[in-house]
Structure formats: C-alpha cells, structure tokens
Amino acid sequence: MEKKLSREEAKKRIEWLRKEIWRHNYLYYVLNKPEISDEEYDKLMEELRRLEEQFPEFITPDSPTQRVGAPPAKEFKTVKHVKPMLSLDAARDEEEIRAFDRRVRRELGVENVEYVAEPKLDGLSVELIYEDGKYKRGSTRGDGINGEDVTENIRTIRAVPLVLRGEELPIPKMLAVRGEVIMHIDDFEKLNKELIQRGEEPLANPRNAAAGSLRRLDPKETAERPLDIFFYEIMHYEGDGIKIESQWEALQCLKKWGLKINPHVKLCKNIDEAIEYHRKMEEMREKLEYEIDGVVIKVNKFEYQEKLGIKTRSPRWAIAYKFPPRKEETQIVDIVVQVGRTGILTPVALLKPVDVKGVTVSRATLHNEDYIKEKDIRIGDWVKVARAGDVIPEVVEVIKEKRTGNEKEFKMPDKCPVCGSRVVKEGAYYRCTGGLSCPAQLKRSIAHFASKNAMDIEGLGGKTVDLLVEKGLIKRISDIYRLTKRDLLRLPRFGEKAAKNLVEAIEKSKDRGLARLIFALGIPNVGEHTARILAEKFKTIDRLMQATEAELLAINEIGPETASSIVNFFREERNRREIEELKKLGVKMEYEEEKGKLKGKVFVFTGTLKSFSREEAKELVEKEGGIVVNSVSKNVDYVVAGENPGSKYEKAKQLGLKIIGEEEFKKLLGIEEKEERKGKIMTLDEFFKA
Ligand code: IVH
C-alpha cells in the first residue's frame, strides 16, 4: 500500500515530479539523450496525474499533465504577431546563391560573411510566446501579420516546453520564437493507414497532415496526432542579462531554454561552406525521418541583418536554397472523380505510368476544383508529378509548352458518379448529398450511425458493417432495422448467441431519442453538441426537416456552413425517405427533455472555494450534466471565482464571460444553505489527520 501524503507533502512531491519531468523532456527532446526509459517516464507522469487528481488545487496550467484541457473551439481567433512573420526568397541553383552572397557582401562592404545554414523544414510555421518563462500563446503564420490563435493545439505537442529552463540562461520576461510544426514520415504513413481504415480521406503529404492536425478545432484531436516541432528564430525578447548578437547564438539560447533546435544546423565560415552544406543535406534528405525541401542560408550577425533590412515580405539577409523536387513528367490520360466515404468528391488524374524515384505512379490527386483552376490543369496535359514522401502523388505543374490545343478542360460533375445524387459545393469541396444511400458513403455512415455516441448498437462495428454491406444485407441505413436473426446466422462468424445479441442491441437502439438520432444521421458539420441543440430547439424531426437556413442561422451556435449542410441534407429526397422508413420501423424520434439542471453548460473554476474542493465542485457540476474544463475560452458559460482567483479570472473578464461567485454557484446547483453539508468542511489536511 502506498502511503497517503499530507497536503504539504503532496505539494512538494508534485513540484518535484514536475521538475523531474521537465528535465527528462529536455534530455529527451532537446538533447536527444534520455536518461530513463519510456516506462520510467510514464511512471513519473502517472504518479503526478494521481496526485493532481487527489489535490486538484495544485494543478497549474503548465503542469505536464495539462496538455489537453481546453474545450473545442468554434473557430480560431485571429491574433497579431509580435513582428511580421516573413517568408523567404528562393534560389534554385548555385549561381543564384553566389549572386545572393555577392549582393550581401557588396551592401555590407565586407570581404567575407559568415552564414548559418539550416534544413528548410517542410511543415507549418508557428509563433510561440513565453511570458516569464511560461507558455502563453501560439499562432499560425496566417498572412504573416495576423495568424490563427492555436494556443491550445500547440500546447498538446510534447516537444513544446510549457515552461522554459532557467538553468543556463536567465529566463526572459518575454520571448517570441518561431518554429516549424512537422509530422514525421512514418507517423504520417501510419496516420494515413488509420484514416483509410476508418473510411476517411487520406492526407496528401506530411506537411498537409501537420497543418490539418494542428488546426483541429478540438485540441484533443490535435493531441492524438503525432506532431513535432523545431525552433529556428527568436523574433523578439525582453529581459535583463540576455544579449543575443547572432543567429548562431540565438540557436544556442533556444536550446538552453529547452526549445528544440534542429541537430543539423551549421555555422558556415563563408558561402562555399554553405553550398557544400546544401549538397550534403540533399544526400541526407533521404535518410531523415521528416521532410525537408531545401536549406535556409542566413547571414549570421544580427548587426549585418539589420543593415541589410527587409523588402516587403522577405528578409534580404536570408535565402532558401531549394532542392530540386522529386518529380517526373507524364501525361494526364483522363480525370475521374473519386467519392470518399465522407461524400467528398476528389478529382484524380489518371496518368501514363511513370517512375518517380522508384515508385510507379499512375494516379495523382488534384485535390479539388480550385487546385485544378489555379494550375489550369486539363485532360491531355503533360504535367510534372511529385511524390513528397507521401502515399498519394500530386500533380504539381503543367508543362504548357507541350500543349497541342487538343487538351480538354475538366468540370466537376453536378451528380455523384456513384449514386447519382445532387452534388453541392461547400467551401473548396464538392460533396455528394446522397448521404445515407450513397454506396461510397454507406459503410462509414452505418458505422457512424451505430457508434457509441450515436445509436449505440453494440456489436455493429466496422468489420460487421463491412460484412453486412458486402453481402448486400444493408443497402441503406434503415436496413439495419430489417435485419433478422436468420439473416445474421447465414453470415460467417455469426453464431446463435452473436446473432441474438445483435438483434437485441438493434431493437434497444430504437429508443435513443431525437438528439442522438440527429447526430447518428451523419449530417456534415453536425456533431453531438449541435445535434442536441437542434433537438432542443425543434423537438421533432419533421420540424427540423422543414427548417429554413434563416431559421437555423437564428440559433446562436449555428453558423452558415452548418445551416446550409442541414438544409441540403434534408432537401435530398432519399434522406427524407430514409427518415420515414426509420419511423415506420419503430425508431423513436421524440425529444426527451434531458435531465440535469446544468445540461451542456461549461464551467471553469478559479481561486479557492470555501465550501468545496475543486474535485467536489466538479462532481456536482457533472452530476447535473455540466462540463468542467481547465482553461478559459469563449465556449465557457460560467467562470466560478473563489478567493484569490488567478489569471483565468482576468482572461474571463477580457472575454466578457459570465463570472459568478461561490454563492451564486450554489444557487445554480440548487444547494440550500441548510443542506449544504452538516458542520464545517474538513480541509484535506484535517481529513488526512482524521
Ligand atoms: S527562417 C525571416 N528557417 O520556410 C525568417 N524558415 O518561405 C524566415 N522554414 O514560412 C523563416 N525551415 O515556414 C526559416 N530553418 C528555417 C526554416 C524555415 C522551414 C519555412 C518557414 C517559412 C518558409 C519560408
């Protein structure tokens, strides 16, 4: 048995564990010299998590356990960068690099210039801000001036320290750094396999995967994606005792603060060394675990950088020396449309087979209509296809000189090539409205319909769904409710018991209520939360089916994209018919008032409450159907402020959230004074003594 710790002891142990974990993070991520095994590391994390659970008052946002706390956002806020995030001019050959060096030396009036050469990482550029050594904010590059606030998503990347190290250098009051978020090639391939297995669209390349993963509205989803980061620029710093005079020094400082830099960076005495570096890195490229598309050459001394200055969007003291892309020429024989199981139509080029660095390529994605238009891709065109460490090759360029005039323009179809339903445009994408009845989407739709948070049909998982669809027993959603034990017994793998259980589970699922049914239908953009709101608002499926876009938009939490996909979904005759069928087969579609006074309400606590511990307060909220989260965002309904509230209080004020005191909180819960707890509440100390 483990010894129960006193509050004081626990506090000390928690602090020690955190320091220890931070140290091991540094050893692992930054120095690449771990001292302990993964299992030992996990044990430390586990102990910390357990203690924090017992003593939630000691949880701080920078605790290593707090990487995923934030609730999903509806959209990203825009934030202004500390300084513009510039991009780089690119050079393709040695001559252009020598010209760059000549210009630099001429303008500086010096014989020779030192450069820092770094791999040009092919990911997504981000800005991170630390205040007094604590991670405060993270944003994407955006247009260079303003980016998207992805603070909570970046927090989930394990290589991002939540607290800077102060062992070797003073901690700056403020530090703005820039780095590149990337996904390793093997992680990318694994992710794509999983996506394909789940019936979702695979991603085009590791860069898109990194960008898409980082920009999930729900940070929990980002946390599930294996992202990594390298830091390469100090954009701004304030603080005593720190003076940084060159890019090389900047890199060393980043490393000392615990911000991982790329191990292949090199200080070059002159441009010849930088050119040699480019040659070596091009060889190295094939061995790296992540994608690089060139090297970046930067004038080392900051004094020189300042003299050289910037021109509009790019510095005059740095240049990207790109690698020749891995691409080959071939011809587009035809363009076809593939329907993913989410209903998205993806145009695909059928190619004359061509070998691109050892892989025969005969199809290449054209992504979407905008991409085709932007590159002016036509059937019959000669094109360059590239493979960027990815599974799906892409058409990167049209060789216009080779056009004969016989090329044909491509148009996206207005009917789904698989089921013939109407196709609608949603942003850059076209989507088949066939939904429930489109075979391409059928398996995924069924699996979603039966999933735990939807109709919760136990035993109707991926494999069974595949089998039922392939055997023709399920052709549309309503067929689920037509399945009989006899049907199932004819299938391989189905014994008497399994068949009976599944039939019973299907029967039970008829009673899940309107909200879950709406979610189960798989209407694009309608998640669980939205489904619940719709059920509350419209009460019956018939009312919802008649809702106009304007009516939907009038609901606070529903945006234009969601409103239009709901209307489109119900406009489709087949979907309406399916709903009628479900009704006839006995699926209940009435709204049942859900229990719980605080249903769906999101709470944050800050400061100390007099009558409850955090854990108790959390339990009470959850008992009433509410949700407790750790950080303040605009999705929060109530901020409960106890004594000595912390920074969450300030943030809540800024966001204009509803802030309530302990008394009001009790009223919300309906706790009467007399019922409140007999006698005095014990502190944890007293509790442990008792
Ligand atoms: S320095 C002024 N260094 O390349 C400083 N950029 O077109 C500009 N990138 O958007 C950035 N690796 O996302 C720098 N070692 C590196 C880089 C790097 C990748 C990306 C960055 C930027 C793009 C430049």
- Domains, the chain, with CATH or none: 7-66 (1.10.287.610), 90-322 (3.30.470.30), 327-430 (2.40.50.140), 436-584 (1.10.150.20), 602-689 (3.40.50.10190)
Tell me the catalytic residues: 120
Q: Which residue has the CA at smallest separation from atom 22 of ligand 1?
A: 87
Q: What is the pTM of this model?
A: 0.58
Amino acid, single-letter form, for residue 679: G
Ligand 1 atom index nearest CA of 122: 19
Question: Within 13 Å and on the Cβ side, how many CA atoms surround 184?
Answer: 9
Question: Which among 121, 143, 248, 278 is the best mutation to test ligand 1's pocket, defined by most ligand atoms within 8 Å of the CB?
Answer: 121
Position 351 confidence tier, pLDDT thresholds 50, 70, 90: very high
- The DSSP secondary structure of 530-571, one letter per residue, reads HHHHHHHHH-BHHHHHH--HHHHHTSTT--HHHHHHHHHHHH
Ligand 1 atom index nearest CA of 233: 1
Strand 659-660 vs strand 638-641: parallel, antiparallel, or unpaired?
parallel
Q: Measured between alpha carbons, how far apart are the two ends of the chain, in Å? A: 19
Q: Which residue has the CA at smallest separation from atom 16 of ligand 1?
A: 120
Q: Which stretch, 263-267, 519-523, 676-680, has highest mean pLDDT?
A: 263-267
Helix (H) or strand (E) holding 148: strand 146-148
Question: Within 13 Å and on the Cβ side, how many CA atoms surround 528?
Answer: 8
Kindly report the number of other CB atoms within 10 A of residue 405's CB atom.
Answer: 5
Position 17 confidence tier, pLDDT thresholds 50, 70, 90: very high
Note the pLDDT of residue 180. 98
Ligand 1 atom index nearest CA of 310: 2
Contact 139/81 with Cβ under 8 angstroms?
Answer: yes
Distance 120 CA to ligand 1 centre (A): 6
Amino acid, single-letter form, for residue 11: K
Note the pLDDT of residue 388. 55
408's CB contacts (< 8 A; 6+ apart) are 378, 379, 380
**Ligand 1 pocket by C-beta < 6 Å: which residues?**
86-88, 118, 120-121, 125, 141, 180, 232-233, 296, 315, 318, 320
Query: Residue 557: is its pLDDT beyond 80?
Result: no
472's CB contacts (< 8 A; 6+ apart) are none
**pLDDT tens digits, 592-647:** 776 677 877 889 998 888 888 888 888 888 777 788 888 888 888 999 998 888 88
Helix (H, G, I), strand (E, B) or coil at 143: coil
Ligand 1 atom index nearest CA of 123: 13
Distance 610 CA to ligand 1 centre (A): 51
Indicate the Cα dihedral angle 350, 351, 353, 356, nearest 10°. Answer: -110
Distance 361 CA to ligand 1 centre (A): 30
Question: Which among 118, 125, 254 is the best mutation to test ligand 1's pocket, defined by most ligand atoms within 8 Å of the CB?
Answer: 125
Query: Residue 225: is its pLDDT beyond 60?
Result: yes
Q: Please state, rounded to an integer, the average pLDDT across all residues of the chain.
A: 88
Question: Which residue matches tokens 């939630």?
Answer: 56
* Span of 173-182, 189-198, 308-317, 458-467 with lowest mean pLDDT: 189-198
Contact 228/159 with Cβ under 8 angstroms?
Answer: yes
Question: Which among 92, 120, 143 is the best mutation to test ligand 1's pocket, defined by most ligand atoms within 8 Å of the CB?
Answer: 120
Q: Which residues pair with 415 in a beta bridge?
A: 422
Ligand 1 atom index nearest CA of 314: 2
- Collect contacts of 672-679 with beta carbons under 8 A, ≥24 apart: 676/611, 677/611
The C-alpha atoms of residue 74 and residue 140 are separated, in whole angstroms, by 17
Distance 191 CA to ligand 1 centre (A): 25
Distance 388 CA to ligand 1 centre (A): 18
Position 401 confidence tier, pLDDT thresholds 50, 70, 90: very high
Angle, CA 399 vertex, CA 396 and CA 401 arms, to 5°? 165
Distance 162 CA to ligand 1 centre (A): 23
- The closest of 581, 477, 478, 600 to 534, measured between CA atoms, is 600
